[in-house]
Amino acid sequence: MSNRRREILDKASEMFSRWSYHKVSLEDISSSLGIGKSTMYHYFRTKEELFTEVIQENMEKLLNHVYYSLDDTKPFATQLKNLVYLTLQFFSENRDVILLLVREKLDFVNISTMKDEFEGKWKTYYDEFYNRFSSNLEKAKANGEVLPVDTTLLLANIFGTIIAVSLDYTLNHPEKDLKDIQEDCYRVILKGIAV
């Protein structure tokens, strides 16, 4: 990737997270970088194309940070702890991206090409991750590492808790200690809330 393209993507990500997709134009981005419109249009023909690439790039970063860091050979509790820690770490280190995704959630699903991308490519990635973790969870159930509860229910509980805690920490409580949040989230998922 060229340095100029990288600069444009970084600036676009920053501006979209600060002001939203609809309030930022390609001209705003090119002006803030001190480049001409023709240079901008050389790399990205439309704002939708640029925004889609910003989203895709950040989804890939999350996937690489979490998915490829998990070790299927470890006990399930260790895999779960790593999933919690890695997800919260990613959200903490990429707060602007998370703000962008949350802010634009309802808007970008209405943009046809982006919707198609997410229903195709990203659903495939999510399904791959879901199936891998589901398989590991089934093995953990068979080994007596987790309760013999419906796998779909367990996965909804695990992923739902991780995402909810990650969003709450990132958006509302970034001043809290990340390690404490990670440990509390892990304990609640693994042990529940009863004493």
pLDDT tens, N- to C-terminus, the chain (195 residues): 789 999 999 999 899 888 888 889 999 999 999 999 899 999 999 998 898 888 888 878 888 888 888 899 999 999 999 999 999 999 888 888 777 777 666 455 555 666 666 666 667 777 888 898 999 999 999 999 998 999 999 999 999 999 899 989 988 998 999 999 999 999 999 988 888
Instruction: Report pLDDT for 150.
Output: 94
Rounded CA gap, 155 and 116, in Å?
A: 25
Q: Is residue 30 part of a domain?
A: no
Query: Does 37 fall in a domain?
Result: no
The answer as to whether 93 is a domain residue is yes
Q: How many domains does the chain divide into?
A: 1
Going by C-beta distance under 8 Å and a sequence separation of 6 or more, which residues neighbour residue 193? none
For 42, half-sphere exposure in the C-beta direction (CA atoms, 13 angstrom radius) is 10
Q: From CA 147, how far away is CA 135, in angstroms rounded?
A: 15
Q: Does 41 map to a domain?
A: no
139 — phi, psi (to 5°)? Answer: -60, -40
Which residues span the domain enclosing 158?
49-191
| Ramachandran region, residue 25 (left: φ > 0; alpha: ψ -120 to 50; beta: rest) | beta
